[in-house]
Structure 1
Amino acid sequence: MTALEATSSGEQRGEVNPKRWIALTVILVAAFMDMLDSTILNVAIPSIRNDLDAGYADIQWVTAGYQLAFALLLILGGRLGDIYGRKRIFQIGVAGFTLASLAAAVSVDPNMLIVSRLAQGGFASIMVPQVLAIIHVSFPPEERAKAFGMFGTVAGLAALTGLSLGGLLVEWNLFGLEWRLVFLINVPVGLFGLILGQTSIVESKAPVPLRLDIIGAILAAVTLFLLVFPLIQGRELGWPAWGFVLLALTPVALFVFLRQQRARTRKDGSPLVALNLFRLRSFSSALGVQLAFNIGVGVFFLSWSLYMQVGLGWSPIHAGLTSLPFCIATFITSALSYAVLAAKMGRKLLQLGAVLVLLGLGSYIWVVQHYGSGATSWQMALPLALFGLGFGMVMSPIPDMATSEAPMKDAGSASGLVNTNQQLGFAIGTALVSVIFFGALGGNASDNAREASAQLRQDLAAVSVTGQSADRIVDYFVQCTSDQAKEKDWTVQAPSCAKVPTELSSNKSAAQVYADTGKHTNALTFADTFAHSLRWFIGGMVLTLLLTFLLPRKNAAHGKSEAGAEWKAAAETS
């Protein structure tokens, strides 16, 4: 079995690509483009809403449409590389993603932007799986650790750039383009990847000819749709009954898919998913750790964004700069994890990372509850730094651990499954925010409003508002605060908030007292709810820590393995 197929230029099979480090730069640039796009858009949403007159449902599809298309096609995208050539599929994905980004940037209405985002997600799903697959087949095991370490570094850099650069681009409004720069930034990056990738990446595919499993691709997409769509859109649609029906049908669809994959394996050995991968302890256990961790991460990031921007009222750029300790710490440990630490520590690296995440989350709960509505970015720095250090130690090694023993003919399939598993974890975590965060938000708002009513009454008395007038304002405050927290869209005013007492509309001093109390109560409500979400994440991290004990003690990439033997045999067969 050889590591690489002969290229069109006549390079020998099994030959190590002399330009592999340049090729790594190209594919990491593409990975950076995808990761950047997943973070940079969040801060541009208000600008998109205003410029395109987009409704709440439109904005949801701008974000969810990308996630849905990406998740549904990732497994297929990975297998396409095994069959038709990873370089070819990668280049198609980069070209398509770049064009879709340009289309998004010039969108004139919400519908055009939604279609462009769907196209972005679709092309990303065939581009991203090739990144891990090309690393896996282009580098011998002794070099693969450094390559994956650089991949982790790029992930940290993308998070750092996306959260801060997005806010700056929208805030500066360069050339009057506002949010459009968020998408335009992908165009020069994509062109760079296309040009340099054509000459540096060596074509590779499965050594044994494979056929495209169209039926398997359809069944996989249906199975993922039944699971992901209700999770992404459930809260926005009011958790309809048919959503739970789709979720209940997911195990049935999965059973049918697995039966079809086994039959396809017996028939011609060309299934969409190489089920033999799950017999590898390194692969199946790494996927379990990855899924549990990413579910918690999905809960954290959305809850965190809501706490800072809606609860504390911070601007996007303020929230982005607050994330710098997390991003810098993630950048550092992602770079060091596989370049330095993994060979010595093995699974202990992930266990140390999980402990650091737990320390970061626990200290963040203390900061949120101790400082309440007065919490500052500086007070959050240490918890975020601890979280970031652990985040890099857990996230960075997983792709290599999962694919280290995968046969090279199934590198694309393994990569597609790793990426799909990651997206699935994020989707489940984001959906759980509807239950964990929003489920507690209304109750916390009611409790905090009632507790603040006594102080509100005293402050109103200080501006000469007493008696029945004060009663009407306090009753209105408690009802409006509670109802507004239960609204799905904060731009939509709760009906109870529309009936403003005349005492507020005619008395500026009373209105100012009311506004100050409302701001303070809102911050406390989101702080309590964010702390509630962090406790759930802590539970998920304990599970993640326990699952790490299922991993092999040492990564196969750093020792003797079938992958290493495969590379040695390939080198001797040129």
Structure 2
Amino acid sequence: MTTSVPADPETAAAAARAAGRRRRIALAVVLTAAFMDLVDATIVNIAIPSIQRDTGATFSAVQWVTAGYALAFALGLITGGRLGDIHGRKKLFLLGMGGFTLASALCGFATGPGMLVGARVLQGAMAALMVPQVLAIIHVTFPAHERGKVFGMFGAVIGLGAVCGPLIGALLTEGNLFGLEWRPIFLINLPVGIAGILLGRRFLTESRAPRALRVDLIGTALATAGLLMLLYPLTQGRESGWPLWGFVSMAASPLVLAVFVRYERAKARKDGSPLVELPLFKIRTFAAGAGVQLAFGVVSGLFFLIWTLHMQLGLGWGPLHAGLTGVPFSLACSTAAGVSVQRLVPRFGRKVLQAGALIMLSGALVYLWAAGRYGTALESWQLAPAMLLMGAGMGLIVAPITDTVISEVPAEHSGSASGIFNTTGQLGMALGLGLSSVAFFGVVGDTGQPGGAGAAAGAADALRASFVDATTHALWWICGGLVLVFGLLFLLPRRSRAQEVAERSEPAAPEGGAGPEQRQQALVS
């Protein structure tokens, strides 16, 4: 017979401290990865004029620098999550971070627009391997009673990334470190990525899903083909003179996507592992929410591109001037996001999101008025009211929309629903960037190209005026998109099911009862 010897209290305390230290370092690694992805998705916009001048990139190449990342990221998100479930989240996280770091180096050392676009597509694909593992690693690393605080930190990092991305890009571009101009916005990822890989190998814990879905490579290929058949001619068509093949390709795109839908249904019957769980779209709230997310992604993708081009190429501001002008937008967005989730949505429900759409619309109209009133003489302080309104409106939408929509989905499907929902937003951004060919660059015309006839003739004022005209034209498209978002929000329930349940149970709920932590756990379970 053996007797158990009580553990030495000092040894147990030391082990607990070591475990806590290991978890904190692991958290720092995955949060840094999430921060890198968000910053890299936003940091490029502010450097686009510098990239265009240095590489001689055409406008379509400029669009692909941003749209290529968004499209690759969107198409790989669900597959990346499943690969982590099958082969191990730590392994896929480190693979994604290594690939992301390598792609950042290729972006930084790109010798021309083609190489830069290819490296950005690779960067987006590697982010799709890395990012889905972040919440899953947090979920398995931290005990339930600590996750609420950890998820709060995750939200704070996301907000910080949204605020810091454009400003970091402006500082690095304006600083022209070592004469590298825009390249440090990518090269800064190298030391961060290498440190993350070394620390991740040591401190991250491996985990897999007990019952992982299979990877749907054929579904991914069909979705990719269908979307590229739409986006490629939409982006390249203007510079190619809108050839017939472009219209044929765009017309055939819905047919390929219809084949994708039929294949996904057959895949679901065969092994239950389709890329997209189509029955989710039978849930009215989820289908409407996905429509909102897609339309809002289009608006966001178009706005952020034309905004920075207007400030730098239309108004002649430097990157730092443009970045600082965007600070009111970022601060208003992060502030409104925090208030909407914690106070407003639990009380007013859907009306908060609709108010956000109307506030953004009013901001776009103020921007339109200011751009038309002052033209190329517009000053930062004259643009500030529009920035505050658009930032506040965006914060009221982006923060609560996911929780509002996913809370209506059965818990066993929340992971798939969250992946599809995030993918929809990224696809919307890629589509918005593609639409800029018509909404923005079509108005600028050939005069904006490096070395074009307008620039050769020294018509700098006319060139700047054309960018202002293009901005006002694109802002009308943005206003139309926001009206569409406002209308789609009526399809959401007035109050989510989770809010109604919480209200009914509130009198009997114990103090400090279930709240955001439990809802967040449902998203990553």
TM-score (norm 1): 0.74
Question: Residue 206 of structure 1 contacts residue 410 of structure 1 at CA under 8 Å; is this kept in 2?
Answer: no
The structural deviation recorded for 1:428 is 2.1
Question: Residue 345 of structure 2 contacts residue 352 of structure 2 at CA under 8 Å; is this kept in 1?
Answer: yes
CA shift in 2, pair 1:392/1:138, >3 Å: farther
Q: Determine whether 1:212 maps to 2:171.
A: no
CA shift in 2, pair 1:404/1:97, >3 Å: farther
Partner of 1:453: none
Partner of 2:33: 30
Q: What is the rounded CA distance, in whole Å, between the counterparts of 1:52 and 1:106 in structure 2?
A: 12
The structural deviation recorded for 1:382 is 1.3
Partner of 1:467: none
The structural deviation recorded for 1:123 is 0.6
Q: Determine whether 1:544 maps to 2:485.
A: yes
Q: What is the rounded CA distance, in whole Å, between the counterparts of 2:85 and 2:494 in structure 1?
A: 29
Q: What is the rounded CA distance, in whole Å, between the counterparts of 1:346 and 1:88 in structure 2?
A: 40
Q: What is the rounded CA distance, in whole Å, between the counterparts of 1:290 and 1:20 in structure 2?
A: 34
Q: Determine whether 1:418 maps to 2:421.
A: yes
Indicate which of 340, 352, 374 corresponds to 1:371.
Answer: 374
> Greater CA deviation, 126-135 or 158-167?
126-135
Q: What is the rounded CA distance, in whole Å, between the counterparts of 1:136 and 1:552 in structure 2?
A: 29
Indicate which of 218, 223, 227 corresponds to 1:224.
Answer: 227
Q: How does 1:297-376 map to 2 (within 5 A)?
A: 297-376=300-379
The structural deviation recorded for 1:426 is 1.4
Partner of 1:252: 255
Structure 2: runs of 5+ lacking an equivalent = 1-18, 503-513
CA shift in 2, pair 1:360/1:100, >3 Å: same
The structural deviation recorded for 1:198 is 5.6
The structural deviation recorded for 1:544 is 0.9
Partner of 1:506: none
Q: How does 1:110-509 map to 2 (within 5 A)?
A: 112-131=115-134, 153-194=156-197, 206-406=209-409, 410=413, 413-439=416-442, 441=443, 485-487=444-446, 489-494=448-453
Say which SS state the counterpart of residue 490 (structure 2) adopts. Answer: helix
Partner of 2:471: 530
The structural deviation recorded for 1:143 is 9.1
CA shift in 2, pair 1:20/1:557, >3 Å: farther
Question: Residue 272 of structure 1 contacts residue 413 of structure 1 at CA under 8 Å; is this kept in 2?
Answer: no
Q: What is the rounded CA distance, in whole Å, between the counterparts of 1:138 and 1:385 in structure 2?
A: 38
* One-letter code aligned to 1:90: F
> Greater CA deviation, 219-228 or 310-319?
219-228
Partner of 1:458: none
Q: What is the rounded CA distance, in whole Å, between the counterparts of 1:305 and 1:278 in structure 2?
A: 36
Aligned length: 489
Question: Residue 78 of structure 1 contacts residue 413 of structure 1 at CA under 8 Å; is this kept in 2?
Answer: no
Partner of 1:475: none
Q: What is the rounded CA distance, in whole Å, between the counterparts of 1:153 and 1:212 in structure 2?
A: 32
Question: Residue 73 of structure 1 contacts residue 126 of structure 1 at CA under 8 Å; is this kept in 2?
Answer: yes
The structural deviation recorded for 1:394 is 0.7
Q: What is the rounded CA distance, in whole Å, between the counterparts of 2:296 and 2:65 in structure 1?
A: 26
Partner of 1:454: none
- Give a deviation string over 1:297-354, Cα, whole Å, max 9, x none: 2232222223222221222221111111101111212233324433333322212211
Question: Residue 77 of structure 1 contacts residue 416 of structure 1 at CA under 8 Å; is this kept in 2?
Answer: no
Q: What is the rounded CA distance, in whole Å, between the counterparts of 1:347 and 1:81 in structure 2?
A: 34
Q: What is the rounded CA distance, in whole Å, between the counterparts of 1:142 and 1:555 in structure 2?
A: 25
Partner of 2:106: 103
> Greater CA deviation, 134-143 or 19-28?
134-143
Identity %: 52
Q: What is the rounded CA distance, in whole Å, between the counterparts of 2:213 and 2:133 in structure 1?
A: 17
Q: What is the rounded CA distance, in whole Å, between the counterparts of 1:406 and 1:202 in structure 2?
A: 30
Question: Residue 89 of structure 2 contacts residue 136 of structure 2 at CA under 8 Å; is this kept in 1?
Answer: yes
Q: What is the rounded CA distance, in whole Å, between the counterparts of 1:547 and 1:295 in structure 2?
A: 14
The structural deviation recorded for 1:41 is 2.1
> Greater CA deviation, 148-157 or 206-215?
148-157
Cα-Cα RMSD = 3.7
The structural deviation recorded for 1:152 is 5.3
The structural deviation recorded for 1:120 is 0.8
Structure 1: runs of 5+ lacking an equivalent = 1-16, 442-484, 501-513
> Greater CA deviation, 162-171 or 56-65?
56-65
* One-letter code aligned to 2:365: G
Question: Residue 130 of structure 1 contacts residue 415 of structure 1 at CA under 8 Å; is this kept in 2?
Answer: no
> Greater CA deviation, 172-181 or 188-197?
188-197
* One-letter code aligned to 1:356: I
Question: Residue 63 of structure 2 contacts residue 235 of structure 2 at CA under 8 Å; is this kept in 1?
Answer: no
- Give a deviation string over 1:350-380, Cα, whole Å, max 9, x none: 1221121122122222222232332110011
The structural deviation recorded for 1:410 is 4.8
CA shift in 2, pair 1:193/1:284, >3 Å: farther
The structural deviation recorded for 1:381 is 0.7
Q: How does 1:56-67 map to 2 (within 5 A)?
A: 61-67=64-70
Q: What is the rounded CA distance, in whole Å, between the counterparts of 2:410 and 2:416 in structure 1?
A: 10
Question: Residue 343 of structure 1 contacts residue 555 of structure 1 at CA under 8 Å; is this kept in 2?
Answer: no
Q: What is the rounded CA distance, in whole Å, between the counterparts of 2:99 and 2:267 in structure 1?
A: 30
- Give a deviation string over 1:205-259, Cα, whole Å, max 9, x none: 5543432223222222222222332333333433322222222122211221111
Partner of 2:16: none
Larger Rg: 1
The structural deviation recorded for 1:42 is 3.0
CA shift in 2, pair 1:82/1:232, >3 Å: farther
